[in-house]
Chain A
């Protein structure tokens, strides 16, 4: 199975700061990456698919980049509602796999 390694596992940041989360695949997965946000006790929410396509309705401060094996989710200016855990997912091959998650905390 393709391994998805996220870093960092947690990050502390202040409102207005820029935050970047990276995800590295164990092999080339082209652009078949999605990013999800999950708040405590809530269901995951799709933010980005195909590495960089923002889902309709998701704020433009979220962006995705990368292809091949290295991908990045960037929050350009952190807002209070962005404190959550973020997961990358590859859907290039079965079994689909997720990164271990990155928790974004308030500094």
Chain B
């Protein structure tokens, strides 16, 4: 079945870096955009950014622009979220989620499949 599995979370000091992975299976990964969404403890959902199916287009939330980078390796069916210059307010569960539209150059849609998330804690 269609599945997304995040990994790479952990505890990091303020100013540190981390790379999250999102491994996909059960669908043709190279034809769908991937979103990243986060949820701080006890809070709501915050969209972080999206990468198009071919990796050409990447769009970020203002809160992470210049610090986070989304990439993908279609040969490995994996998307990545590189987190740098981390702040305590970046502490959250990070989810990857699939855009539902095939080969969308600008994947601005809802998210039809979500992973279970990986937890990032930024603390000294």
Contacts and interface: CB of A to CB of B under 8 A. Distances in A.
B102 to A, nearest CB: 15
A45 B97 CA distance: 10
Contact of B114 (A44, A49, A101): A44
A49 B110 contact: yes
Counting contact residues on chain B (CB < 8 A from A), the size range is 20 to 34
Contacts of B45: 36, 38, 44, 87, 89, 98, 101
B119 to A, nearest CB: 11
Given A44-B95, A98-B46, A100-B44, A91 B62 contact: no
Nearest to A50: B110
Contacts of A46: 110-114
The 7 lowest CB-CB distance pairs between A and B, nearest first, are: A34-B110, A96-B47, A98-B45, A49-B110, A43-B114, A95-B61, A101-B44
